Amino acid sequence: MSNSYEELSNLITEKINKLNFIKEPESLYIPVDYCLKNGGKRIRPLMTLLGCKLFGGNTDDAVNAAIGLELLHNFTLMHDDIMDEAPIRRGQPSVYKKWGTNTAILSGDAMLVLAYNHILEVPEDKLKAILEVFNTSITEVCEGQQYDMDFETRKIVSEDEYLNMIRLKTAVLPANCLKIGAMISGNASEEDIFNLYKFGEYFGLAFQIQDDWLDIYSDEKVFGKKTGGDILAKKKTWLFIKALSKADDKLKKTLTDAFYSDCLENNEKISIVKSVYNALNISNIAIREIELYFNQALSYLDKINVDDEDKKPLRDLAKGLMNREY
């Protein structure tokens, strides 16, 4: 009997909304509660449950780990928002903006420990192996964030470097959520776990490049915010890096002059950068790249030794996320 991913998603949302983290000192825990309850797609806990279910595991065994992984994700957001000076998170003031840097640091730290507390609830014979994966996930997300910050002050970032950065910062966590779910099931071979991890990793790469694409080419009404934010933030996205690598000297100059300008008006800046992207056909090249990674992800899913029918919720989730418009 296979739940749809929507059913499991509702289960997760319900569980998370029932959690109560608020205790003394409230100034430490209210921001934890605020950050976690402030929505989000809950992709990571869902992947944990789906990874477990794929191999016939009982999702009840994976719920605490799933919540732990969502807490971990939100911890990284709370700290990243300080570093990125991001005032808004999911349409609401970020913790850093609402309560200040110190609160976002310390409540983030407390949140990470809460994540570990939830991971401790996995079956004890799997605890050490799962913690090793959990620790690796956090380390890699930190490394990805560090590369991202390092790239801000560099003029040149190669496509490979960019891909490695988003792999660490974005792709490994969902991949490890799937892996931890599969480990909890107790029924997955090492080979299957490897293939499931690679599915998650390639999916994560596709997802992030799509994120870069949506920032420029999405429908603003559906996207829910103005496009071009990455350009204004001088973020070296996949599109920018690809455009730089394909541009001749003249286009390169037009692109970088506009991109790094501190004088151009916002709309004009976005318009120039976009015109270079269009001249280089970057939108289509990006779409092809997204499809390439997405298909690679699906090919790893195909390899896993379980009935195709059991892969449906995971395939549906991945396809649903790739068809998003925001």
Instruction: Copy the structure tokens of residue 130.
Output: 């799962």
Asked if residue 172 lies in contact with residue 137, where contact means CB atoms within 8 angstroms, the answer is: yes
| Minimum distance from residue 24 beta carbon to its own copies (Å) | 8
Is residue 147 involved in binding its own copies (CB under 8 A)? yes
* Whole-Å CA distances, 139 to 45, 136, 157, 174: 19, 5, 22, 14
Binding part of the chain for its own copies, among 24-32, 204-212, 252-260, 279-287 by CB under 8 A, reads: 24-32
* Other CB atoms within 10 A of residue 80 CB: 20
Q: Toward its own copies, which CB reaches closer, 74 or 218?
A: 74
Return the bridge partners of 93, or none: 88
Distance CA 58, CA 62 (A): 7
Asked if residue 41 lies in contact with residue 62, where contact means CB atoms within 8 angstroms, the answer is: no
| Minimum distance from residue 105 beta carbon to its own copies (Å) | 6
* Greatest extent of the chain over all pairs of C-alpha atoms, in Å: 61
Is residue 321 involved in binding its own copies (CB under 8 A)? no
Is residue 279 involved in binding its own copies (CB under 8 A)? no
| Minimum distance from residue 48 beta carbon to its own copies (Å) | 19
Please give the backbone phi and psi of residue 92, each rounded to the nearest 5 degrees, phi first: -120, 160
Name which position in 10, 58, 88, 113 contacts its own copies (CB under 8 A).
113
| Minimum distance from residue 146 beta carbon to its own copies (Å) | 4
Which residues would be at the binding site for its own copies (CB under 8 A)? 24-25, 27-28, 79, 82-83, 101-102, 105-106, 109-110, 112-113, 116-117, 120, 124, 127-128, 131-132, 135, 138-139, 142-143, 145-147, 149-150
